[in-house]
Structure 1
């Protein structure tokens, strides 16, 4: 699968659940059994979490996945770039903004600091890639459903006011249960196809690839 019509980038702090979100959507799967590398939590080695939080290994660099989606009579290929969340990879992450039609900015619903960092990515995206639509995604809702208490009980009301003020669509998701994951990506797809210019480019790319037999992909 070499052609990409709809480029989506996943942004957010390390360990907020970006990879799990992608795996749930692309493969409809969730792996909560993989241990976090070095058993490190909150900067302390060898600490086992008291609460039943599923710890996943960090993404190093960028991971790519693609999925075919059917919209009316058109088959789109969505490419998803899962970027590393560590600040030391910021320069690399910015290179994946180019040509992105959508960005999912994730934060951990139980950790308010990850939302503060998410606001940085929203600002940066809108200053660098003006045509990229931004979607704010709260992850790990299942933890709240299971009684896990956020470090800031008011975090969601703060996020909702921010989303409203910045005209950013907000989705509260759980990759573990699948709640609102498909709905998030469906919204991205519908926003993309609602722009006739996007559909025209997709049709032109399909025709070109059939005529020339050459591979077509987005930048990066």
Structure 2
């Protein structure tokens, strides 16, 4: 952390195909949403800078999203993409018949392969239960059975989100930034040192080629 409080953190965005990963990123970064669906191939990138107040000091955090393809075909490539990550969003589709199994699959994937750089500690992982704007999804989210099943998976945080309305996305990014910084506190700078960026570094825009 420099005297101006500027950070850049690589954060993974994973989940099954069509869960809405790229749509959530696009909404969070550029406040855009499209119903056009194109599958992400390999990995896409985007970034957004948020401002936090931590311990009476203003902190600027640039979150660099790595949008990882959800298809099984690309799972063999994922380990290379995971390297250097400081956090992970798991995006799930609330309307999926295999909701809890999908979440568990990705949680196990992240837990087994993604550690903080130069560390054996797991990265902060936040679950985004997406498509809450849909009546069916909202009904499923509000069921006690659903919440109990999700709670049993012991995610760091669980947030209901919508790539259409933007619900929960700002909250998720703020929580992620705070959790990463909390993890870094007290760690040797040689082992866990985030990249420092200039205050006026322009944000990258999400690529228009894919949305989910």
TM-score class, shorter-chain normalisation, is: 0.7 to 0.9
Quote how far apart the aligned CAs of 1:87 are: 0.4
In the alignment, is residue 85 of structure 1 matched against residue 74 of structure 2?
Answer: no
Structure with a larger share of its residues in helix: 1
Matched residues in 2 for 1:199 and 1:10: separation?
27
In our comparison, the structure showing a higher alpha carbon Rg is: 1
Structure 1, gaps ≥5 residues long? 35-55, 211-220
CA deviations on 1:102-127 (whole Å, 9 max, x unpaired) are 11111111112244122111012112
CA deviations on 1:135-174 (whole Å, 9 max, x unpaired) are 1111111112xxx479x95895454224433431111111
What SS does structure 2 have at the residue aligned with 1:68?
Answer: strand
| Equivalent position of 1:59 in the other structure | 40
Quote how far apart the aligned CAs of 1:85 are: 0.8
Instruction: Count residues with an aligned counterpart.
Output: 178
| Equivalent position of 1:19 in the other structure | 22
The 1:115/1:197 distance shift into structure 2, 3 A limit, reads same
| Equivalent position of 2:148 in the other structure | 161
| Equivalent position of 2:172 in the other structure | 184
**Preserved contact between residue 140 and residue 174 of structure 1 (Cα < 8 Å):** yes
Matched residues in 1 for 2:163 and 2:19: separation?
11
Alignment match of 1:95 (pick from 66, 73, 80): 80
Alignment match of 2:11 (pick from 2, 8, 23): 8
**Preserved contact between residue 88 and residue 123 of structure 2 (Cα < 8 Å):** yes
The answer to which structure, 1 or 2, has the higher relative contact order (CA under 8 A, 6+ apart) is 2
What SS does structure 1 have at the residue aligned with 2:134?
Answer: helix
The 1:9/1:158 distance shift into structure 2, 3 A limit, reads farther
Q: TM-score, structure 2 length as denominator?
A: 0.73
In the alignment, is residue 174 of structure 1 matched against residue 162 of structure 2?
Answer: yes
Moved over 3 A (4+): 152-159, 197-200
Q: TM-score, structure 1 length as denominator?
A: 0.70
Matched residues in 2 for 1:62 and 1:22: separation?
13
